[in-house]
Amino acid sequence: MLRRPRFDESGGAWRLVLASVCLCFLASWKESRSTKILCEDHCSAYQHSDSLPDRAPQGVIRLAVGGDSRNDKSHVVPWAFQEAKRRGAKAFFFLGDLELTSALDRGFLPQLADLGDIPFYPVIGNHEVEAFGIVRLPKWESERKVREFKKEFHLARSAEVKLASGQRFLDTVVYSVDLEGGIHLVALDNVSRKGEGFGPDQLAWLARDLKAAHDANKIILVGMHKGLANNPVTSHAMDEDGQQAISDSDRALQLFAEYQVAMIFVSHSHMHAAYTQRGIPVRLTGGMGAPLVKDLAEADGGFHHFLLVDVAPSAGTPQAHVEVVKFPCTPPCEPSRSETDESQEIE
C-alpha cells in the first residue's frame, strides 16, 4: 500500500519528492526533443482496422495485443482487459511499460483479475528497467528488476513458456510460447541493455527459435517494446539507441523474413499505426493509457486503444485480421489538456 510521505525535520521526504519532480521534468524535456513522427502530415495513411465479429468464428484463434499503460488516468487497462475477455480472446500479449516506474508495477497486478482465466504474456519495457524510463540503473539493479519481472508474471515457472535462461540472459526477458491453433508467440527484449539492441546471444536464440517454429509449420507472431529501426512512422524506436541497435534491428528483420513471421507487434510510441517492413505486417500499438503523442490527431493514430487479432490457420499463408478497438470516451471525446501536456514525458 502506498503511504503518504512523512515530512520530518530531516527533510528527506521533501528531497525524494523534489528528485522525482526533477526527473519528470528531465523526461519531459528529453522526450520533446527526441521524439520524431516521420509520417508527419500523412500519418492517416498508416491507419487500418478490420471489422471483426463480436466473437471469433469457429476455427479462428483470437488474441488481444496492446502496450504502454503507465500513467493510465483514463483507466484504459481495466476496460481493455474486460473487453478482451468479453470478445473471447485466448491470450493477452502486452508490449511493455506497465507503470511509470517498476516500483509501481505491483499496483498493476490486481488488474489482471479482469482477464479472468485468459493468459497474460508481457514484454519488458524501458519503464520496467529504467527509473522513470530515462535513468539507466547499475547492472546489478537492472538484473534484480528483470528477476522480479519474471517472478511477478510467473515466466520462470510456467510450463508452457520457453524462457531463454542461463548466465547470458540474467538481465533480459526473452521467451516464446505455443498457443492453440498452431500459433507461436515470441517475446523479445530490446530495452534492458541500453544501446545494445538485442545483443548476439538473443539474436542467436531467436534464430534457433524461429527455425524450430518454422519447421513445425507454426504461425509466428513476434512482439517487442521498441519498434524496429528505419520504419516509416517514427524514429522513437531502435533508431534512437545508436548504430549497434540499428544493426541488430536489421539482423532481426532479416530473420523474420527468412522464417516467414506472420506479424510483428511493437509499442513505445503512444499511438497506433499499421505498416510493413520487408513485406511483414507491423502494428504499432502503444495506446493502453499512457499520455498520447503530443498534437497527434485521432485520424493519425492519436487515440487510446488495444488490438484484437484473429488468426485463421490455412494451407497457404496464414490469414491474420486486426481490429483496432478504440477506447470509448465521453463526448466531445477530446483528451484533457493535462493529458495532452503530459505526452511530452518520456515514452
Model pLDDT, residue 85: 98
User: Quick one: pLDDT band at residue 9, thresholds 50, 70, 90?
Assistant: very low
Report the distance separating Cα 166 and Cα 185, nearest Å.
Answer: 21
Question: Looking at residue 184, what is its pLDDT?
Answer: 97
How confident is the model at residue 108, as a pLDDT?
80
Other C-beta atoms within 10 Å of 267: how many? 31
pLDDT above 70: residue 76 = yes
Residue 20 has pLDDT above 70, yes or no: no
Q: Using 50, 70 and 90 to split pLDDT, how confident is the model at 32?
A: very low
* pLDDT given at position 10: 40
The grid coordinates listed for 184 are 507461436
Once rounded to an integer, what is the mean pLDDT over residues 299-310?
97
Q: Which three cell numbers stand for residue 14?
A: 521533501
pLDDT at residue 152 above 60?
yes
Is the pLDDT score of 145 beyond 90?
no
Neighbours of 64 (CB within 10 A): 25
Q: What is the mean pLDDT of residues 186-197?
A: 89
Percent of the chain with pLDDT over 90: 61
* Alpha helices for the chain (secondary structure H): 12-34, 76-86, 126-129, 139-152, 200-215, 243-258, 337-342
From first CA to last CA, the distance across the chain in angstroms is: 26
Least confidently predicted of 12-16, 195-199, 215-219: 12-16
pLDDT (tens digit, 9 = 90+) per residue, 192-214? 887 779 999 999 999 999 999 99
Instruction: Grade residue 105 by pLDDT with cuts at 50, 70 and 90.
Output: low
Q: How confident is the model at residue 319 (pLDDT cuts 50, 70, 90)?
A: confident
Confidence bin at 71 (pLDDT 50/70/90): confident
pLDDT band with cut points at 50, 70 and 90 for residue 106: low
Q: At what angle do helices 200-215 and 243-258 cross, to 10 degrees?
A: 10
Provide the pLDDT for residue 81.
Answer: 97
Instruction: Indicate the domain borders of the chain.
Output: 47-342
- Cβ neighbours for 74, distance < 8 A, ≥ 6 positions apart: 289, 304, 327, 329, 339
pLDDT(187) > 60: yes
Confidence of residue 316 (pLDDT cuts 50, 70, 90): low
Mean pLDDT confidence for 289-303: 93
Task: From the options 3.40.50.720, 3.40.630.10, 3.60.21.70, 1.10.340.30, give the CATH code of 47-342.
Answer: 3.60.21.70
Residue 181 has pLDDT above 50, yes or no: yes
Tell me the pLDDT of the chain averaged across its residues. 84
Position 107 scores a pLDDT of 72
Arithmetic mean of pLDDT, 161-169: 92
Q: What is the pLDDT of residue 306?
A: 98
- The one-letter code for the residue type at 127 is H
Of residues 331 and 61, more confidently modeled: 61
User: Which positions ≥6 away from 200 have C-beta within 8 Å?
Assistant: none
Reply yes or no on whether the pLDDT at 216 is more than 80: yes
Return the minimum-mean-pLDDT range out of 178-192, 228-242, 311-325: 311-325
On the question of pLDDT at 27 being above 70, the answer is no
**What Å distances lie between residue 137 and 126, 143, 144, CA to CA?**
11, 9, 10
Task: State how far the Cα of 54 lies from the Cα of 308, in Å rounded to an integer.
Answer: 10
As given in the structure block, the three cell numbers for residue 151 are: 517472478
pTM of the model: 0.86
pLDDT, average across residues 41-51: 94
